[in-house]
Amino acid sequence: MAYPDTFYITTPIYYVNDVPHIGHAYTSLACDVLARFKRLDGFDVRFLTGTDEHGQKVQHSAKAAGVDTKVFCDSVSDNFRSLSKVMNISNDDFIRTTEDRHIAASQGIWRALVDAGHIYLGTYSGWYSLRDEAFYLEDELTIGPNNEKFAPSGAPVEWIEEPSYFFRLSSWTDPLLDFYSNHPEFILPQSRKNEVVRFVEGGLRDLSISRTSFNWGVPVPGDSEHVMYVWLDALTNYITALGYPDITTDSYRRYWPGLHIVGKDILRFHAVYWPAFLMAAGIEPPKRVYAHGWWTNEGHKISKSLGNVIDPIQLVDMYGIDSVRYFLMREVPFGNDGDFSHGAMITRINGDLANDFGNLAQRVLSMIQRYCDGRVPAHSAFLSADKELLEQAEMLVSEIRPLIDGQQIHQMLILLWRAIAKANQYVDYQAPWNLKSTDPKRMETVLYVLAEAIRHYAILALAVVPDGAARLLDQLAVPAESRCFASLSKDHSLVPDTQLPRPKGVFPRYAVQES
């Protein structure tokens, strides 16, 4: 049975060695916007996030904290769950790699790889970065002033030598290149795809996929001396959550393959290793891997040592959840690097949210309250300016759909705000406050057109600013079942004479504190 209207989206699973920061909030938020959009559009959506709890890095962090590793994981994993709540993330599942279901799935994929002849035992000797949990070749490293070596990410590396199982990644060079060329949008954005293709074209080496020098990981089936390489374990989470190794489950058949949103630093794992593991295990690769860029803080690289890590929870406390969500999605084209600054945040809040959208809604709803007894006004025949505004509002969803299908979230917001700007011009030009005495019937029509346009904007905005948009729809008395894209048509227009509640501003200005 085919499930044409399903949509599966995942965040990376976050390492529990660290407190949640803006990078985590950003990835989760982008996935949330895409998931909400698809739900509003009638899709059967499954949205997964969770925590990556195995590996040497996590074991070290627990040790440094003087806590039992599992107890440490429980507590940090809970921080990520809380972050999801604070950020208004609508995930359907939260996976932890220490769960039994995940151990079963990881061992399941291992066995499938063994059965297909893709794993052999050898010895690994080479460079390893604990921070990246990644192996590097000598020629990828840079040398520091004291002859110390660093990974391309800037992370220190150490030489390791230990028995290891290997995955025959070298035999996947050509199949992967074929796969990329047959699926030109498998990796997006295009510029990042080119980097991956160049890397694979350089030829792939077999990949070490087990470790023996520590034990915090999924035991290798049949060889308890080894634990699985944390990335093989971690990547498998995306199918664990659908029931793997049982591929007959309804969720597996319904949702796999899905869309992975990741940071640019972990694209190689998702766009090279993961499809190779999957193809080798006889499983379909994901539909797409989309890599987003990195945030800096007021122009500086974010790092713990610089002490400039941005705490998303603090941001939400300061600016409110919708403002943070809007800013992160609007400020930077999705896929590019971007800079966080309080100045830019306040400009977006006061400009786009408070002035453009909030003020439009507040003006219109207040006039309806004052001039129409708080009831949706009746309208007479629409003039061409009215039709233009309404048609533009009705067209928006079909213009935005392809943008969202290409993960161009910022473009969606640009289009939506362009429409809002048109509505602001319309209200200024029509000046319903003057029509009140000169032509009250016309005033009613103008206010009706505006309320109806705002209904469209608010339904579309639900994916990005769910709280504020829902409060706007409350103020337009739009019933819960009509808060979806199927209602973006004339058939679901506001009904004249419906009593509306007293309006309240939904996107407040941010008042800068004088110091």
- For ligand ME8, the binding residues (CB under 6 A) are 12-15, 23-24, 26-27, 52, 234-235, 237, 262-263, 265-266, 294-295, 302
Q: Which amino acid is at 308?
A: N
Question: How near is the Cβ of 50 to ligand ME8 at its closest, in Å?
Answer: 9
Question: How near is the Cβ of 13 to ligand ME8 at its closest, in Å?
Answer: 5
**Three-state SS at 305:** coil
Nearer to ligand ME8, 13 or 83 (CB): 13
Nearer to ligand ME8, 15 or 229 (CB): 15
Number of residue whose CB is nearest ligand ME8:
263
**Three-state SS at 71:** helix
Do the Cβ atoms of 354 and 509 come closer than 8 Å? yes
Nearer to ligand ME8, 266 or 329 (CB): 266
Question: How near is the Cβ of 419 to ligand ME8 at its closest, in Å?
Answer: 29
For 233-251, letters b (16+ CB in 10 Å) and e give: bbbbbbbbbbbbbeeeeeb
Nearer to ligand ME8, 132 or 452 (CB): 132
Alpha helices in 226-378 (DSSP H): 230-235, 237-240, 250-255, 267-268, 274-280, 312-319, 321-331, 342-348, 359-371
Nearer to ligand ME8, 328 or 473 (CB): 328
Three-state SS string across 362-395, please?
Answer: HHHHHHHHHHCCCECCCCCCCCHHHHHHHHHHHH
Question: How near is the Cβ of 260 to ligand ME8 at its closest, in Å?
Answer: 8
Question: How near is the Cβ of 30 to ligand ME8 at its closest, in Å?
Answer: 10
Question: How near is the Cβ of 294 to ligand ME8 at its closest, in Å?
Answer: 4
Question: How near is the Cβ of 301 to ligand ME8 at its closest, in Å?
Answer: 8
| Torsion sign, CA atoms 81, 85, 89, 93 | positive
Nearer to ligand ME8, 13 or 478 (CB): 13
Do the Cβ atoms of 395 and 415 come closer than 8 Å? no
Question: How near is the Cβ of 235 to ligand ME8 at its closest, in Å?
Answer: 5
DSSP letter (8 states) at residue 256: -
Q: What are the backbone angles phi and psi of residue 134, rounded to the nearest 5°?
A: -140, 150
Tokens of 491: 């058939």
Based on the number of CB atoms within 10 Å of its own CB, is 198 exposed (0-12), middle (13-18) or buried (19 or more)? exposed
Based on the number of CB atoms within 10 Å of its own CB, is 307 exposed (0-12), middle (13-18) or buried (19 or more)? exposed
Nearer to ligand ME8, 89 or 396 (CB): 89
Nearer to ligand ME8, 16 or 160 (CB): 16
Nearer to ligand ME8, 269 or 507 (CB): 269
Question: How near is the Cβ of 23 to ligand ME8 at its closest, in Å?
Answer: 2
Do the Cβ atoms of 4 and 284 come closer than 8 Å? no
Q: What is the CA radius of gyration of the chain?
A: 26
Tokens of 420: 């809002």
Q: Which amino acid is at 270?
A: H
